[in-house]
Chain A
């Protein structure tokens, strides 16, 4: 007995240590998303105090450090013509007769929440909405199509059903990189879906090993008497599908959704290839932030953090479902 409980304690210690280590990068990410880029050569284990905006800063330095758009600043301050980047803020106030507080109010957010402010100003919200639309539509339509396929394939009543099923399994072993170039050709040239979220959704709902396996095998466990009973009662196949089958698909839908949602949410390759920056979903947006603001770490890490946050919340709220699905998928193999 003693030996078993020692072993168990040891396991708990080891696993706790691993879990703590797992959380460390998340924690550091959260800290760095609010650490001014200018302080990134110092180690911060907690969000540092912000220095207030100094009226002695030069507007040019602010542009480089905090990604203040000089032109937008000029417009907001109604300054016409060239603005010398060497000018200090106090000098600008003096020279152009602007209230210092007005300048301060405009620039303060750049300094105080630079990361968040930068990404929000550069299209984060638009990308967030695009990602929600793409992920939501992909999960829902993908599930619907998967259920339809499963409802016909379950039981493999015909030889060609097996063929269709196997051809979906093939998808599991085709690396996305291998077909992305020709997919691009088809989508842009033949479907005319350049820079359209629709193209991403199409690629997500095209069906594959997961949805086919999950729905077909679950529907196969629904007694066929239910279908026969509907037929006896005068219902058509679509009655059976709508009234009986769909309401019973909660469990496989949870499996499907919880496995595919991270895929769809984080799909970078297709977004990068098929969309242009004005339509970017979050991963592509984060990649472009990484490319554009290579020196503004605060903005980059804020981008990573904010694009992770929504799906992380969903995960934590539905964690039981996620875990059960992971196990269900694993057992099915």
Chain B
């Protein structure tokens, strides 16, 4: 083959080469797309698009989903949340939500972490049975938990109250519809429900700790609780962060349990942020509740309250990724 011939051939095959490569990578891209798109389209449409739709609405006076006469009102909605008549309910709902969230966060450790520690130290065949039972309440619906609280703590009919009075106390120990119950008993029940879930989370972290570090701390004479504090806790920080994210999101979004406690049926003491938002948005549209504001106000409230949370969770998530590389 002469040089000129060969260079001509190379040139022409080079042209087809890049074409073919491009065709192949286009085909690969299409295949990827076919497999990714079905879920992603739904995801975009129902998870990310809602933000895009929600944002303009918060600057309007749209009353409900059927409202045709929509006007531009600027920042009035945000302002109105902090003015009569809504401000009082908003503050009350926010106060309850915050107190509940703090108590609920403590329960994550009271139940989840302590149980995880116990299971971590336990050497026994009973482990599986324990796990099965502890995880069992996780199958219960939120509304079920709320109604079980009604069952246990209602005045005069609550089984728990009846047991206590059988034991000699007079009157009712609890009132299912009271604010104290919503703020302090509910987190306890929630902790009970999520005990298995949080335990699994922490147990996963504990099992990942290299046993050498525990053993060497023992050799150094660290007592049990010292080891927990200095060896266990620092090494399960990623699990703690995850549990924290879940706890914050779940606490602020708690809804089902409150419905069980009658929040949509007039129990003002169970009106937390999510109920407040729901009442604004759907109020009269569905069962139970009463219309207390406009749809636009509902969306505004949800963004005002939850957007900071999203950023907090996002930051925690970043933190978790960083910590887990240790």
Contact = CB atoms under 8 A, between A and B. Distances in A.
Contacts of B225: none
Interface stretch (A67-75, A76-84, A88-96, A299-307): A299-307
B46 A203 contact: yes
Contacts of B306: 174-175, 177-178
B223 interface: no
Contacts of B36: 148-149, 152-153, 164
Interface in B100-140: 115, 118-119, 121-124, 126, 128-140
A195 B31 CA distance: 35
A322 B118 CA distance: 20
A239 interface: no
Nearest to A314: B139
A315 to B, nearest CB: 5
Contacts of B277: 177, 181
From B35, B48, B208, name the one whose CB has the most chain A CB atoms within 10 angstroms.
Answer: B35
Interface string B255-297: 1100110101100000001100110011000111000000100
Contacts of A11: 118, 121-122, 124
Contacts, number: 294
Nearest to B28: A157
Contacts of A12: 122, 124, 126
A121 interface: no
Interface string A168-185: 111111111111111111
Given A19-B130, A175-B306, A186-B50, 19 more contacts: A12-B124, A23-B133, A32-B159, A149-B36, A171-B43, A178-B306, A179-B302, A181-B277, A182-B53, A188-B65, A206-B46, A207-B43, A237-B31, A266-B142, A291-B288, A304-B141, A307-B141, A327-B203, A331-B207
B253 A175 contact: yes
A97 to B, nearest CB: 40
Interface of A: 7-8, 11-12, 14-16, 18-19, 22-23, 25-26, 28-29, 32, 40-44, 145-146, 148-149, 151-153, 158, 161, 164, 167-189, 202-203, 205-208, 237, 241, 262, 265-266, 268-269, 272-273, 277, 282-283, 286-288, 290-291, 294, 297, 300-301, 304, 307-308, 311-312, 315-316, 319-320, 322-323, 326-327, 329-331, 333
Interface stretch (B15-23, B81-89, B178-186, B193-201): B193-201
Contacts of B152: 25, 28
B247 interface: no
A136 B47 CA distance: 22
Interface of B: 31-32, 35-36, 38-40, 42-43, 45-51, 53-54, 57, 65, 115, 118-119, 121-124, 126, 128-144, 147-148, 150-152, 156-157, 159, 162-163, 166, 192, 195-197, 200-205, 207-208, 238-239, 242, 245, 249, 252-253, 255-256, 259-260, 262, 264-265, 273-274, 277-278, 281-282, 286-288, 295, 298-299, 302-303, 306-307, 309-310, 313-314, 317, 320, 324
Contact of A179 (B51, B121, B139, B157): B51
Contact of B286 (A26, A151, A185, A273): A273
A207 B128 CA distance: 31
A206 B42 contact: yes
B133 A28 contact: no
A205 B299 contact: no
Contact of B264 (A145, A265, A291, A307): A291
Contact of A173 (B35, B163, B314): B314
Contacts of B51: 179, 182
A275 B206 CA distance: 43
B302 A304 contact: no
B317 A172 contact: yes
Given A29-B148, A153-B36, A319 B255 contact: no
B210 to A, nearest CB: 14
Contacts of B203: 327, 330
A7 B288 CA distance: 52
Contacts of B302: 177-179, 181
16 contacts: A12-B124, A28-B152, A40-B157, A149-B39, A158-B32, A178-B302, A186-B49, A187-B46, A188-B65, A208-B43, A262-B138, A283-B143, A283-B144, A286-B143, A333-B242, A333-B320
Nearest to A268: B256
A174 B46 contact: no
B122 A15 contact: yes
Nearest to A211: B39
B147 A304 contact: yes
B50 A330 contact: no
Contacts of B133: 19, 22-23
From B119, B148, B310, name the one whose CB has the most chain A CB atoms within 10 angstroms.
Answer: B148
